[in-house]
Structure 1
Amino acid sequence: MPEITIQASDGSGSFAAYLAMPKQVPAGAVVVIQEIFGVNHAMRSLSDWVADMGFIAICPDLFWRLEPGVQLTDGSKEEWDRAFELMNAFDQQKGVEDLKATLAAVRVMPGCNGRAGTMGFCLGGRLAFMMATQSDADCNISYYGVGIDGLLQDKDGIGKPLLLHIAEKDRFVPEEARKKIQAGLAGNSHAAVHVYPGVDHAFARMGGHSWDGRAATIANGRTAELLAKALG
């Protein structure tokens, strides 16, 4: 599948995005938001899966200002250390602006029906929540987003469907944080929070250290239903 180039909205340059097209168009689009490991094999595979469901999938390189083309795995301590270095240096608000630019670009691409949402994992799950509160995306899906309990002051900005998949045993989202998220979003008719019992962070990354086939299948089914409803 090809890569395309997107212009940053702040005029600072351009960045690459992995693009996967469905068999049939017109179709809705999904901006797939990377983990801390960059646009690696796992993110490209997830984008291909989204395209296989019948949507345009586009996964932008959000670390481009730090190091373009990062492709790490969770297979070694060195890669984990580098991934956390990148995450800590990453300007999340710039990332949201790049995601908005990607959303705008894909909406006018040939083959897009004009509707587009986001789906993010880990760091991307946090950014998907930020897109729910700060953008006009037609839906937003967060897989094991980190630090969302610290963003709840913006919850009134959620006006489109938001789906949160949370791992009960997530090492990066303790029970107190999970309960705060559930309570904070309980009154919002646009937000649905699902907790998956007994699984850890990254339970939906096939081949990853915490992969859980049952939880991933249930979560992905809910994802597919929302995408079909929101994006056509």
Structure 2
Amino acid sequence: MNIQSNIADLNTPTGVMRTYIHRPTGNGKYPTVLFYSEIFQQTGPIERAAKIIASHGYAVLVPEVFHELNPIGTVLGYDDAGRDKGNADKSAKDVEGYDTDNAAMIAFVKQQAWYNGNIGAMGFCIGGHLAFRAALQPEIKGTACFYATDLHTQVIPNKPGQHSMERLSDITGELLMIWGKQDPHIPAAGRADVYKKLGDTNITFTWHEFNAQHAFMRDEGERYDPQTAMIGYQLALNLFSRTLHQ
């Protein structure tokens, strides 16, 4: 499918959130995927990943995840300065701010002529965590989390009872959890902790661990694993085909 792209600036309780929208050309109705970036916001690799999903018949929304902390349109570089700024932003934004961001996007989507009534979520790195966070919203039917950072830590500020792993009872959709076994940011013990907590619930989830590094989906840099990335896309699209076309 050919893709059209546009921008929507959404009002949230914490400020205007620029959101990039990629969807098939024409006037059809499509399922929506809320797609969450790494700490660097919508870089080239994130835009290309979003367009891959959109090309399979989805409207994909990419929000600026740190919109409160940066000028509209900010994209951080894949370098030390960008990494330091992104990690500082991650430590500064309260986790509940992502909930109001999600609510704003869901409300926006419901008003669009191209919306078919089904919403899912997907994300890489912190975006994997934010996709998991989006799954707390009752409208989210399927969520693909790629190497979701900080599900096993307290790095993202939160109030008691508001950590994502403390709100598992709010998840009603299906989860797809994908990890790299050589990822130093989410070690084996951290993955095991998340797996056990999910396994103690009635949540429907699928779990995949690959021999890959952190950011293996990012099509820039030496950690990119195109073969495994293709499998990752296929797994996500399989999830969405089952959960967002009902």
- Output the TM-score relative to the length of structure 1: 0.91
SS at match of 1:139: strand
Cross-structure match for 2:7: 3
SS at match of 1:83: helix
Does structure 2 conserve the Cα–Cα contact (< 8 Å) formed by 1:41 and 1:71? no
**Distance across 1 between alignment mates of 2:38 and 2:111:** 26
| Structure 1 gap ranges (5+) | none
Stretch of structure 1 that moved more, 212-221 or 170-179: 212-221
Give the letter for the 1:57 counterpart: V
Cross-structure match for 1:142: 145
Equivalent residue in structure 2 for 1:77, among 80, 86, 91: 80
SS at match of 1:21: strand
Does structure 2 conserve the Cα–Cα contact (< 8 Å) formed by 1:164 and 1:194? yes
Cross-structure match for 1:160: 173
Does structure 1 conserve the Cα–Cα contact (< 8 Å) formed by 2:98 and 2:133? no
SS at match of 1:202: coil
Give the letter for the 2:10 counterpart: I
SS at match of 1:148: coil
Equivalent residue in structure 2 for 1:115, among 113, 118, 136: 118
**Distance across 2 between alignment mates of 1:154 and 1:111:** 31
Count of aligned pairs between the two proteins? 228
Quick check: 1:43 aligned with 2:46? yes
Cross-structure match for 2:69: 66
Quick check: 1:32 aligned with 2:45? no
Equivalent residue in structure 2 for 1:15, among 8, 13, 17: 17
Does structure 1 conserve the Cα–Cα contact (< 8 Å) formed by 2:171 and 2:203? no
Does structure 2 conserve the Cα–Cα contact (< 8 Å) formed by 1:23 and 1:52? no
Q: Give the deviation of 1:56 after TM superposition.
A: 0.4
**Distance across 2 between alignment mates of 1:41 and 1:89:** 25
Could you tell me the percent identity over the aligned residues? Answer: 24
Give the letter for the 2:165 counterpart: L
Stretch of structure 1 that moved more, 53-62 or 16-25: 16-25
Q: Deviations over 1:20-66 (max 9, x none)?
A: 11135211011111210012222221221121111001111121111
Change (3 A) 1:113 1:65: same
Change (3 A) 1:52 1:42: same
What RMSD in Å do the two structures reach over aligned CA positions? 1.7
**Distance across 1 between alignment mates of 2:174 and 2:32:** 15
Quick check: 1:195 aligned with 2:209? yes
Cross-structure match for 2:231: 218
**Distance across 2 between alignment mates of 1:190 and 1:4:** 33
SS at match of 1:115: strand
Q: Give the deviation of 1:199 after TM superposition.
A: 0.8
Q: Between Structure 1 and Structure 2, which shows a larger proportion of helix residues?
A: 1
Give the letter for the 1:191 counterpart: F
Cross-structure match for 2:243: 230
**Distance across 1 between alignment mates of 2:192 and 2:100:** 29
SS at match of 2:208: strand
Give the letter for the 2:207 counterpart: V
**Distance across 2 between alignment mates of 1:37 and 1:23:** 27
Q: Give the deviation of 1:147 after TM superposition.
A: 1.7
SS at match of 1:17: strand
Cross-structure match for 1:186: 199
Q: Deviations over 1:101-160 (max 9, x none)?
A: 112211321111011111111111111112223443121111110122354332222211
**Distance across 2 between alignment mates of 1:89 and 1:231:** 33
Q: Give the deviation of 1:92 after TM superposition.
A: 2.4
**Distance across 2 between alignment mates of 1:220 and 1:127:** 18
Change (3 A) 1:86 1:152: closer
Change (3 A) 1:183 1:30: same
Change (3 A) 1:189 1:66: closer
Does structure 2 conserve the Cα–Cα contact (< 8 Å) formed by 1:23 and 1:54? no
